[in-house]
Structure 1
């Protein structure tokens, strides 16, 4: 028997949570950018993306977090 591929999806809420609880407005801003992955489907409740595409997009973005531990005293 052949193995079946398993795909995981993210809606706007999951994207929001994955990005640290950003606002719905910010999710909309990000997901409509040209560099954000293309949605796999546009359902009645909104767009959905392949989770792997979103994760790859996150990895390519510069970190916005500022690590206080890296600061000199």
Structure 2
């Protein structure tokens, strides 16, 4: 089964930032709204986060996406 969601740890890994920085980023008005809020925390659709990365952090695009 393919992965479709990022949790806070996946955001931290994907963005290469600390847990505290993830918390700052998800508070930004331009960051995607969570897809859902679960008992373990919020989750985001990968395509929403990747679109945000393309627009606001293009240097983090995967080499085949650049």
Q: Which TM-score bucket, shorter chain as reference?
A: 0.7 to 0.9
Q: Report the TM-score when normalising by structure 2.
A: 0.79
More helix by share: 2
Aligned length: 59
Provide the aligned C-alpha RMSD in A. Answer: 2.0
Gaps of 5+ in 2: 61-66
Gaps of 5+ in 1: 1-5, 66-73
Q: Report the TM-score when normalising by structure 1.
A: 0.72
**Moved segments of 4+, more than 6 Å:** none
Larger radius of gyration: 1
